[in-house]
Structure 1
Amino acid sequence: MTLTVRDFRAADAESVAAARRSAFPYLVTTPRTVVWAVESAPVARHYRLLVAEADGEVVGASEVGVFHDSDEPGLAFANTTVSARARGRGAGSALVTAAEEYLAGLGTAKVFAWTLDEPGAVTFAERRGYRRGRASRVQRLDLTAAALPPLNAGGLPDGVELRTAADFADDPRPLYEADVECTRDEPGDVATTRPPYAEWLAATWEHPALDRELTSVAVVDGAVASYSVAHTDGRGRYWSGMTGTLRAFRGRGLAKLAKNDSLHRARSAGCREAFTGNDGDNEPMLAINKWFGYEPAHMEWRYVRELSA
């Protein structure tokens, strides 16, 4: 077998998307999102998408870059995926080695990587010197059978309206302000700074998987208070990109209202499966998703390695 690691080409998009779906079937991944990630990455992220080619066929990929928006310098990521049928043939090791060499050349101190909670994946990471960090719990809801709460049963609370992201097409800045605040409050390994509005537009608002008609927004007296982001892949899969409530409006059930509205919209649009991922310490969202009927599907671990070691 001839194995080569090289930079991504647009013609590789379908193979990379297929490899990711085989390893992470719950993610919204399409050839378009693969190409978009490469073309739209900020220069400061030093983003590269490396692919492993075995006998002329792309069998895996590693997305590599630095957390340019982190409060702490020297932090990077390298998330590697190998097609299920091609594992055990050296592609993963070759990709990780190439990724680490690239990041070391940038002066990176730590590299973070997501790993499925599977014996082979965990052993692979730990043998390469990675240590386990935070857990992320992926949950699934069967939209074809789910008993979602009725829409707006008893009417909405006084002053509350439900809108969609599409209603903010002319001026999405209120959604930007809400997303910045809520994202800062999410538990995680890497604290980030406030992104410039233009960068948020490119990375979040223009994301090709974002479904603005299915993304629901709870507005209180005209102000954005809570929202639930929907990503879809055109294959019946729905991923909750983010559900958040601004601090001033928490404790009023608005996240449930927004997410319930989004899930109903998704089912009406033909989505069959809804997935979401939550940090293992995010008890409020874990409780909300359990209330909706989500069931555990997978668990991932965030691994980290000191490159200087």
Structure 2
Amino acid sequence: MRIRVATPDDAPAVVALRATVVPYLVRGVESTRKMIAEPPPGEAWTAFVAEVDARVVGWVSAERITSTSIANVGGINLLHVHPEHRRRGLGTALLTAATDHLRPLGIRRVRAMALSEALPFARRHSYEPSREVRYSALDLNPTPTLPEPPPGVRLRPIGDLDPHLLYVANVASAADEPGDVPVDAQSYESWQYDVWDNLGLDRASSIAAEVDGEVVAFSLVKRDGDRMWSDYTGSVPAYRGRGLARLTKMAALHRAAATGVRIAYTSNDETNAPMLAINARLGYRPVASQWSCLADLS
């Protein structure tokens, strides 16, 4: 057993491991390679892998969460170990490495994501489950019927937009997004890294609804081959209740399906009733749950 800092060359093995443990999470090799090689600025992001016989069988990443106004909050992101190598101490060793990385940064509160079957492990390490995140899948053959946009609303691929307009809409729509840590302080530079410059972002399939030159709703698509991830769908508060989030998501699904995507995945907080209702109407089926878990670092 060996725990070490991840390197860009680990990307293919990390993606293969993710496909085994959490196949509903979509991130390709090149975007994973870039994330390891060029981590987000200002977040002290790092990742660790667990090796057995020179084979990557575990992964975890850790970071300072900078998109929130709450101070000294860190994240440990989806620690996972290959099923054939569990119950041998690898998960504990990865968690220790991630925690040891965060503590010198002054992090006092940590949010971690855990698979449902890993909740006993989380509790043993003083992480308390807080919120359920539900994962769903939609087969895109056939795609849902796409209605015409209402008068005054123009649908555009985000690749045709000034990214600053999309950023403004993203900040406005995310301000009341349910979660343990509010997303209320994301800088443009951080958003640019996470969203606009992400190698998996499909700018042709990601769709925005525009009214009088402003983005009022949008649906982002990240893609890996014939699989896609609905990264974020939202509308600005003043335009909610008009079906525009659902419209942009349907348009994004149509664009993606027309270019070869066969299955779409997404996730929602258990309390996000509007998006859960939209997904149910579109035909999404539940595939898994994870839990946001919280712990204090002494």
Does the TM-score normalized on the shorter chain lie above 0.5? yes
Bucket of the pairwise TM-score, normalised by the shorter protein:
over 0.9
Q: Which residue of 2 aligns with 1:50?
A: 48
Deviations 1:254-284 (A, max 9, x none): 1121111111111111111111100111011
Structure 2 CA distance, aligned partners of 1:43 and 1:270? 33
1:115 partner SS: strand
Alignment of 1:33-48 (within 5 A): 33-48=31-46
1:136 partner SS: strand
Structure 1 CA distance, aligned partners of 2:149 and 2:109? 47
Q: Which residue of 1 aligns with 2:158?
A: 165
Structure 2 CA distance, aligned partners of 1:69 and 1:143? 33
Q: Which residue of 1 aligns with 2:263?
A: 273
Q: How many residues align?
A: 297
Q: Does 1:181 pair with 2:180? A: no
Q: Which residue of 2 aligns with 1:97?
A: 96
Deviations 1:189-236 (A, max 9, x none): 1123433323322221011111001101111233211101111101x1
How far 1:145 sits from its partner (Å)? Answer: 4.2
Q: Does 1:67 pair with 2:65? A: yes
Alignment of 1:7-26 (within 5 A): 7-26=5-24
The answer to whether the 8 A contact 2:40-2:193 is kept is: no
Q: Mark the CA change 1:138 to 1:204 in structure 2 (over 3 Å): closer, same or farther.
A: same
Structure 2 CA distance, aligned partners of 1:68 and 1:245? 23
Structure 1 CA distance, aligned partners of 2:217 and 2:120? 40
The answer to whether the 8 A contact 1:19-1:84 is kept is: no
- Aligned-pair identity in percent equals 39
The answer to whether the 8 A contact 2:66-2:186 is kept is: no
How far 1:48 sits from its partner (Å)? Answer: 0.8
How far 1:56 sits from its partner (Å)? Answer: 1.5
| Structure 1 unmatched runs, 5+ | none
Structure 2 CA distance, aligned partners of 1:13 and 1:144? 30
Superposed CA RMSD:
1.5
How far 1:105 sits from its partner (Å)? Answer: 2.2
Q: Does 1:207 pair with 2:206? A: no
Q: Which residue of 1 aligns with 2:290?
A: 300
2:70 partner SS: coil
How far 1:43 sits from its partner (Å)? Answer: 3.9
